A and B are shown apart, each in its own frame.
Chain A
Amino acid sequence: MRITCPNCGERDRREFYYQGDALALDRPSQDAGLSVWDDYLHNRGNPAGDTKDLWFHEAGCGAWLVVDRNTVTHAVHKAVLAEKVKR
């Protein structure tokens, strides 16, 4: 599996650290209520198919990426800098 880092280009998966669902970027507002925060903190889907994950280019440029990939076909569609993702 190879990921194309927006800074470094195409690199082996070994250079990256996997964090989890990119849902983590959609932080609820402080007064959103307990159920929304509970959902944000603890509940994640486990889809077979397209996912958006956070990856860290640990052994490379040190950037956080949002990677679009498919868990069934193992295709990596694209990777963008997490700081550039609209929130």
Chain B
Amino acid sequence: MAKLIALTPCAGLLPISLGKIAVTEVLPDRLMSVAPFAGQNKAVSAKLKSHVGAVLSGLNRRIGGVTWFGHGTWMVAGDVALDGLAAVTDQSDAWAVVAISGAGSEDVLARLVPIDLRATVFKKNHVAKTMLGHLSVTITRTAANTFEIMVMRSMAQTLVHDLDVAMRGVAARG
């Protein structure tokens, strides 16, 4: 019987590292976009609490596996059943998720992202929908020196290229 080979979005591209900064691929088991119908946020939150152990996060925030993903939308890492409460789409294969970590990650992102991601204003579990170079991205700070970046899967190579160039730029500065 034929064995199918599943390729991850960043297969052959990651991991990369330079100095103290490393970029690795993150592989969520499931990604479901959840857009609650009008007036159903509370009901959706209650269901999510039992499904994935976290409620709908506030604007620009993440709670556990629930990440704010734009106006009226959340991305949930895990299976959900929300019939009649929300528009749900399985997007598990649609996103490339990478983590950039290590001292200096902020400097790398500062070259690419037009918003302030310093720890004083962009804290753990803060989320930003913004741009990285020409890409629309969702950036989450997951730890003191670690950011998670989500882009559409088709943009994985561009994301890694942009990060690679910026990492070398930061390294060259010493």
Contact = CB atoms under 8 A, between A and B. Distances in A.
Interface of A: 7-9, 11-12, 14-15, 57-63, 81
Interface of B: 59-60, 70-71, 73, 114-115, 128-131, 136
Question: What is the interface of chain B mostly: helix, strand, loop, or mixed?
Answer: loop
B162 to A, nearest CB: 15
Question: What is the interface of chain A mostly: helix, strand, loop, or mixed?
Answer: loop
Given A59-B131, A60-B129, A11 B71 contact: no
Contact of A7 (B59, B114, B131): B59
A12 B70 CA distance: 17
Nearest to B121: A9
A59 B136 CA distance: 5
Contacts of A58: 136
A7 B127 CA distance: 11
29 contacts: A7-B60, A7-B71, A8-B59, A8-B60, A8-B128, A8-B130, A9-B60, A11-B114, A11-B115, A12-B114, A14-B131, A15-B114, A15-B131, A57-B71, A59-B130, A59-B131, A59-B136, A60-B129, A60-B130, A61-B70, A61-B71, A61-B129, A62-B70, A62-B71, A62-B73, A62-B129, A63-B70, A63-B71, A81-B71
